[in-house]
Amino acid sequence: MMIESLKYIPHPKEANESLAKHFTDLAPALNERQAAIESARCLYCYDAPCTRICPSEIDVAAFIRNIHDGNVNGAAAGILQQNILGGSCARVCPTEILCEDSCVRNHDAEGQPVKIGLLQRYAIDHMSFAEHPFKRAASTGKKIAVVGAGPAGLSCAHRLAMLGNDVVVFEAREKSGGLNEYGIAKYKLTDNFAQKEVEFLLQIGGIEIRHGQILGGNLQLKDLHAQYDAVFLGLGLGTSKQLGLTGEDAPGLLAAVEYIAALRQTDDLTSLPVPSCAIVIGAGNTAIDMAVQIQRLGAEEVTLVYRRGFEAMSATEHEQHIAKENQVRMRTWAQPQQVLLDDAGRVRGMRFERTAMNNGRLAGTGETFEIAADAIFKAIGQSMDETSISDPLAKTLKRDGDKIHVDDQFRTVLPRIYAGGDCVAPGQDLTVQAVQHGKLAAIAIHQDINALKAEAQ
């Protein structure tokens, strides 16, 4: 898969089979004996802190006890009841700052917390239901539109279908899954897992997914509002933020998410352009994912640059450790100042200004340095694609900054229009939180439209 901005960059030297070995599971799955030993470490705490901190409210102690008792299906059903994307969340959720961080065994004398993420994965990977574990309620006769087949939209659709509603999901891309399909490091979600999870979720019935449907393009919010009983917007954040520098659209400089998507979608890793020297700008999980993957594809030198210190990075210490293990150079206290171009107008490097805290504010020091690079990947965050909410009705949505304003029931200011996931304001940009938003919004939608139905009668 060729990325237009990097078409002049050479391809990996290694064979595809050899490269593929660099993208196997980051954390190997537990086998039956390991799961038995690990589940026995859990104290099954009453009012367990791991459950209290889980964004999707999974009863952690209960599912681990089920594994310990040999009831894998019971464990899986408990997880999926709260988080229908529990399999991908077990792989990508930052458990090290959530459930495992709050585990009562997480102290020096114990050495480590219970491996909750790996146990959750074990339960989902080894479940064996004869049919979908959840049954649909009696039909409500209501039809809801969901925009976006990412974690929030899929979670919302599944819960709505479970409650007896019919759902049509409108998705811009050719595959469902959103971030799980296009935006996660290849070594975190392997073996086409995102698609298998979507197929499992759809087994509930009552959900139709239409691809190539672009809000603000061939799909308008005013039409959905007129044709459906309610609309849920799970738009995600589809546009990469700009550095605001001259030369930002030069060949060799692109958004990290574009490269990650190409990497995830190709079967032939040798088709990807791989620079010998690369710069990644950013400090979140996407920046780390990008830096580690380009290193594993054979780049000779990868430098991740961030304008503040390590402690301010949104990537967890665990993610930072992965970068260091993969020989990614990490430079802090430096901000991009100028894109350096060669005679052909292509990227040859970047000039940075050293930064420091000055009276509590980040400021440039005036001191600069340069890093040579054949390609620069920006991972400085995503914002909402403005064209998606550009029709006359969508323009009336209240905003909090660049996100959609919702109340505590995920209602927007427009009647019967709801939103959740990364596109709404109270967001941590976590897959597990997007799933929770979708689930809670579905419950609110169901209650609201049935309340209207009762009033009409």
Q: What are the structural domains, with CATH classification, of the chain?
A: 4-22+240-382 (3.50.50.60), 32-125 (1.10.1060.10), 143-238+384-456 (3.50.50.60)
Q: What is the mean pLDDT of residues 41-50?
A: 93
Do the Cβ atoms of 145 and 232 come closer than 8 Å?
yes
Q: What is the pLDDT of residues 350-365, one digit of tens each?
A: 999 999 999 999 999 9
With cut-offs at 50, 70 and 90, classify the pLDDT of residue 193. Answer: very high
**Residue 450: is its pLDDT beyond 90?**
no
pTM attached to this predicted model: 0.95
Q: What is the pLDDT of residues 16-27, one digit of tens each?
A: 999 999 999 988
Q: What is the pLDDT of residues 242-265, one digit of tens each?
A: 999 998 999 999 999 999 999 999
pLDDT attached to residue 426 = 67
Q: Are strands 375-379 and 277-282 parallel, antiparallel or unpaired?
A: parallel
How far, CA to CA in Å, does 277 sit from each of 244, 252, 302, 373, 407?
23, 11, 6, 5, 46
Q: What is the mean pLDDT of residues 423-429?
A: 75
What percent of the chain is modeled with pLDDT above 70? 98
**Residue 1: is its pLDDT beyond 60?**
no
pLDDT attached to residue 428 = 66
Q: What is the pLDDT of residues 212-244, one digit of tens each?
A: 999 999 999 999 999 999 999 999 988 899 999
Taking Cα atoms as reference points, which of 381, 353, 383, 350 lies closest to residue 365?
A: 353
pLDDT attached to residue 427 = 61
Taking Cα atoms as reference points, which of 421, 419, 411, 398 lies closest to residue 449?
A: 411
**Residue 197: is its pLDDT beyond 90?**
yes
Taking Cα atoms as reference points, which of 339, 330, 277, 340 lies closest to residue 307?
A: 330
Residue 215 has a CB neighbour count (10 Å cut-off) of 22
φ and ψ of 240, to 5 deg: -80, 140
